[in-house]
Structure 1
């Protein structure tokens, strides 16, 4: 199946989506087939990278030779021309303008809202109450991102609409992205729900943007930063449409990853009591009973290792890029317009990079052990010029909210209710039922 210095070929015919969801077998076969494997997804010819160093070369060293691939084209109705889907000069311009929203000084301010939101959520819990944890963490992520983005009265209406619509967009958007183009034109319930949710979000976000323009006051939120941003070369700001696209990118990118990572964190703590004890001891020592701040995140060393391990074990399933011209990778020349797939999930579970990759082991992120992990093997937020611009915000949110909850509560799995991974765009739990137990 594999010829040295040339792509292997693995044809996938027929029910592509169903077969791809058999993720472990699929990616294991690919890894055995070579560093670059040709995969025919119906009529689409793609090249699957299984080697982390080649992924690093593509994302970092040769990032300018690639644009976002077919998967992101399908998300154009959601993101418009935001950072997730834009390319070339326009993408670089937008990235420069968005980056100030995530400077450490701003993150420190957002951290207060993160801690407060987590405390408000857990204040509604009762001892012995069974919680559907992923629903709690999703609601928490919406609150945090919504408050960081919008701080006006109309912004509160926007947050309510985000709560109503965003998970329909995430779920149905991924189904649409992995389906043939004609499917999105069919009168299916999922299509109607997706289109309606995107339309509602678009309307409320543009209302907020126009309202801000009329007031013209910097309220210290992400939206203010976007609206005040100016291109360093031309001095021009963003149009309402551009701001809308970046807000949608931040909403979709800022809610799903953090919500799921937080849920899986407490799932793994419950499965590993010795890890949970170490987290509790560290949280108690660092915080001393007070609310965490941004300054505390660097001192929560072991909790950061737990978060890294969760991000390793439960990343997105796969991502795509498209070549802008013929590109050489690993001795193979990929033609212009080639669709290239890589799987963070497969890379994060590669035994060549991680000893016992299916074992939850936060200590693999100790400095001496982490130093041996090759570039490209751990990419929870991407890498290179297309890496997530909000990665510090996301990491801070996960650590702050986990510390806030762990300082007050333990979460215990409900017996007889096993949790399984369901992949859509990311690693969703099947249903995570956990009992809230106050810490003495």
Structure 2
């Protein structure tokens, strides 16, 4: 059966205008055209997957046949050859070197920092004031990753630069991903802004690394990276590679976590009954004491809330590049072929999710979730390229939610508009802070 070409193709530009203009609605509608649909971005032809079992093959079963894809390569000027962008034996080596930094023992220590930072934030709030929760959560995530990564607060200048530049790099980088290849070489304003934001962030990271003795263990994540040795060769990462990994962790550890925290606050504010169940569980498990990493597993309902946020506010697009010939559904892929899929479209596909547009944490307590096909829920990817910090991120969010809602209620002051780049960004999220018992 031939593979259909997606509707909306323009001469020369292909499906780039549809992807940029309609984004989520366009990719969600592709399921109507088959398990595999042809898309083009200028002269680059790609295959868009709408079947979760095929996505699972790309991510897990046949994962060794696929590399990072053009989407990640477009961000190389920003994050170099960091873990999210590297491939092959080098990627496997780097992942092995970095895994200890995200082990449970370290997570327990990081959790103490997260609780302290979140407590300081909520103690600064005043009853009845309106807070921009998305900005608060971004500042909190910056503080958390700064103390976790560098053993100290990033400093106001570094935090402000990261808050300004990281979202800009992600947004403008996606224009590069979805546009024909020649576009990034043109002297266009968004190319200049991407390069300038990249240069500013590189300067921030260089400043943070400057003067750090690689042989001294400061008890932070950066020390773990600097001291990590290859078990076979005894080699450590080069300074350049540590820089690339810090850029990767700093970006992923702030943007993703901040957005998950913000959207969780938003959904709990919209549904007081769910928020009250979270508070009741927090009271029962913690009994008034601060949350710890070991409490995360016991906060079952709170975890379900986070899972539902991860389902509804997932990554919009991911891409992979075929490294060797492989059959995928009706298509024989050749080396160099690009495949695309949308975790968000899979997370909201009515073929697999009842009432997918409804925020329902209880769906995660049912047996139906256990019958979902592989590949239909990918909040942090899957397989050998699953986000190395997925336990880090989930624990940080659960701890943040438990700390915030043990003390406060949050009320939305109006509708929140959404802008999609790689993930849903709120265009402001004003919420009124109320003591929890009011």
Contact 1:147/1:159 (CA < 8 Å) preserved in 2? Answer: no
Q: Which residue number in structure 1 is paired with residue 427 of structure 2?
A: 430
Listed one character per residue, the Cα deviations across residues 390-411 of structure 1 (whole Å, up to 9, x for unaligned) are: 0010001110001111111111
Q: Does 1:246 align with 2:245?
A: yes
Cα gap change, 1:212/1:153 in structure 2, threshold over 3 Å: closer, same or farther? farther
Please state how far the C-alpha of 1:293 moved relative to its aligned partner.
0.6
Cα gap change, 1:421/1:196 in structure 2, threshold over 3 Å: closer, same or farther? same
User: Which residues in structure 2 correspond to 1:35-184 (within 5 Å)?
Assistant: 35-151=35-151, 158-159=158-159, 161-184=161-184
User: Which residues in structure 2 correspond to 1:16-35 (within 5 Å)?
Assistant: 16-20=15-19, 21-35=21-35
Cα gap change, 1:36/1:278 in structure 2, threshold over 3 Å: closer, same or farther? same
| Aligned Cα root-mean-square deviation (Å) | 2.0
Please state how far the C-alpha of 1:324 moved relative to its aligned partner.
0.7
In the alignment, the residues of structure 2 paired with residue 433 and residue 127 of structure 1 have an alpha-carbon distance, to the nearest angstrom, of: 14
Cα gap change, 1:25/1:192 in structure 2, threshold over 3 Å: closer, same or farther? closer
In the alignment, the residues of structure 1 paired with residue 134 and residue 362 of structure 2 have an alpha-carbon distance, to the nearest angstrom, of: 25
Residue aligned with 2:191, SS: helix
Q: Which residue number in structure 2 is paired with residue 346 of structure 1?
A: 345
User: Which residues in structure 2 correspond to 1:180-199 (within 5 Å)?
Assistant: 180-199=180-199
Cα gap change, 1:238/1:159 in structure 2, threshold over 3 Å: closer, same or farther? farther
Please state how far the C-alpha of 1:230 moved relative to its aligned partner.
0.8
Listed one character per residue, the Cα deviations across residues 155-193 of structure 1 (whole Å, up to 9, x for unaligned) are: 886556434533332333333333344443444444333
In the alignment, the residues of structure 2 paired with residue 290 and residue 110 of structure 1 have an alpha-carbon distance, to the nearest angstrom, of: 18
Q: Which residue number in structure 2 is paired with residue 299 of structure 1?
A: 298
Q: Which residue number in structure 2 is paired with residue 9 of structure 1?
A: 5
Please state how far the C-alpha of 1:153 moved relative to its aligned partner.
8.2
Residue aligned with 1:123, SS: helix
In the alignment, the residues of structure 2 paired with residue 167 and residue 257 of structure 1 have an alpha-carbon distance, to the nearest angstrom, of: 10
Cα gap change, 1:377/1:335 in structure 2, threshold over 3 Å: closer, same or farther? same
Cα gap change, 1:223/1:159 in structure 2, threshold over 3 Å: closer, same or farther? farther
In the alignment, the residues of structure 1 paired with residue 104 and residue 248 of structure 2 have an alpha-carbon distance, to the nearest angstrom, of: 20
Cα gap change, 1:259/1:120 in structure 2, threshold over 3 Å: closer, same or farther? same
Listed one character per residue, the Cα deviations across residues 193-219 of structure 1 (whole Å, up to 9, x for unaligned) are: 3323322322332343342226x3211
Q: Which residue number in structure 1 is paired with residue 317 of structure 2?
A: 318
Contact 1:322/1:339 (CA < 8 Å) preserved in 2? Answer: yes
TM-score in terms of structure 2 length: 0.94
Listed one character per residue, the Cα deviations across residues 31-73 of structure 1 (whole Å, up to 9, x for unaligned) are: 0111111112222111011011110111001110000111111
Please state how far the C-alpha of 1:150 moved relative to its aligned partner.
0.7
Contact 1:10/1:39 (CA < 8 Å) preserved in 2? Answer: yes
Residue aligned with 1:298, SS: helix
In the alignment, the residues of structure 2 paired with residue 283 and residue 140 of structure 1 have an alpha-carbon distance, to the nearest angstrom, of: 20
Residue aligned with 2:213, SS: helix
TM-score in terms of structure 1 length: 0.93
Contact 2:36/2:330 (CA < 8 Å) preserved in 1? Answer: no
Please state how far the C-alpha of 1:289 moved relative to its aligned partner.
1.9
Residue aligned with 1:22, SS: helix
Please state how far the C-alpha of 1:430 moved relative to its aligned partner.
2.5
Listed one character per residue, the Cα deviations across residues 239-272 of structure 1 (whole Å, up to 9, x for unaligned) are: 0000001111111111111111111111111222
Residue aligned with 2:90, SS: helix
Q: Which residue number in structure 1 is paired with residue 205 of structure 2?
A: 205
In the alignment, the residues of structure 1 paired with residue 369 and residue 334 of structure 2 have an alpha-carbon distance, to the nearest angstrom, of: 35
Cα gap change, 1:153/1:385 in structure 2, threshold over 3 Å: closer, same or farther? closer
Please state how far the C-alpha of 1:273 moved relative to its aligned partner.
2.1
In the alignment, the residues of structure 1 paired with residue 52 and residue 412 of structure 2 have an alpha-carbon distance, to the nearest angstrom, of: 35
**Larger CA deviation: 422-431 vs 75-84:** 422-431
In the alignment, the residues of structure 2 paired with residue 30 and residue 267 of structure 1 have an alpha-carbon distance, to the nearest angstrom, of: 29
Q: Which residue number in structure 2 is paired with residue 372 of structure 1?
A: 371
Contact 2:44/2:180 (CA < 8 Å) preserved in 1? Answer: no
Listed one character per residue, the Cα deviations across residues 270-301 of structure 1 (whole Å, up to 9, x for unaligned) are: 22222111111111111222211101101110
In the alignment, the residues of structure 1 paired with residue 132 and residue 251 of structure 2 have an alpha-carbon distance, to the nearest angstrom, of: 21
Cα gap change, 1:104/1:421 in structure 2, threshold over 3 Å: closer, same or farther? same
Task: State how many pairs are aligned.
Answer: 433
Q: Which residue number in structure 2 is paired with residue 228 of structure 1?
A: 227
Please state how far the C-alpha of 1:115 moved relative to its aligned partner.
1.1
